Structure 1
Amino acid sequence: MKVRVKHWSAVAQWRWNTGNNNNNDNYAAADDDGDICGICRVPYEGCCPTCKMPGDDCPLIWGQCSHVYHMHCLLKWLGTPMSKQQRPMDRRPWVTAERKVNDNNTRSEAP
């Protein structure tokens, strides 16, 4: 018996590598605190309220505190007078984590 494929559709899913996925390919719902922006409460794979498309146009930013936010959310937060240039979660001064390139030529968070 011969089979002839007349049509096919490819499906893909992407996720930001935030280090919070615990090597689990069957990701739980995005209501987990490790999978959403602490400012806008939108999943990292979505986009912040300012953007229309997720991905490289709406990047993530890591702090030395290991918290992750949509970059636009954090910049808007730090621009408000009440923020006093402090982190949203623990009210300490915001310091962006240094990023380094590992052996696989992918970016990873510095320890």
Structure 2
Amino acid sequence: MKVTVKRWHAIAQWQWDIGRTDEHGDAEEDVCGICRVPFEGCCPTCKVPGDDCPLIWGECSHVFHMHCLLKWIGTVASKQQCPMDRRPWVTAERKVTTNGS
């Protein structure tokens, strides 16, 4: 039997791999601790999520949108500290990847 595909419509989904999973092994949905927008969304500065609005990890294991953290660190009140635990901010060496589903 021969089949001819006349047209098709692809659908894709992506999400940041933040390295956290829930009790079912699914990726844990989380939000930026600064802007409170989900990581799959973009920070208030950006219009499109993804590589133009990457995530940044601290050695303290907290994750933020890069633009949110840079804006925070640029303020005098931040004292160059993590906004979640107030430890000195040190960016972790971590490779950011996206998972397609």
Q: TM class by shorter-chain length?
A: 0.7 to 0.9
Question: Which one scores higher on RCO, CA 8 angstroms, separation ≥ 6?
Answer: 2
Instruction: Tell me the TM-score normalized by structure 1.
Output: 0.74
Determine the structure 1 residue equivalent to 2:99.
none
Q: Which residue of 2 aligns with 1:104?
A: none
Query: In structure 2, what is the Cα distance between the partners aligned to 1:13 and 1:5?
Result: 23
Partner of 2:71: 76
Please list every run of 5 or more consecutive structure 2 residues that lacks an aligned counterpart in the other structure: 97-101
Partner of 1:15, secondary structure, is strand
Q: Distance in 1 between matches of 2:49 and 2:5?
A: 33
Aligned-partner Cα distance in 2 for 1:98–1:6 = 47
Normalization by structure 2: what TM-score? 0.81
* CA distance, structure 1, for counterparts of residue 13 and residue 72 of structure 2: 29
1:90 aligns with 2:74: no
What is the alpha-carbon distance in structure 2 between the residues aligned to residue 80 and residue 8 of structure 1? 50
Post-superposition offset of 1:20? 1.3
Partner of 1:12: 12
Superposed CA deviations along residues 29-58 of structure 1, whole A, max 9, x for unmatched, are: x5xxxx110000001111000011110000
Equivalences, count: 94
Q: What is the one-letter code of the residue matched to 2:82?
A: R
Distance in 2 of aligned mates of 1:21 and 1:60: 17
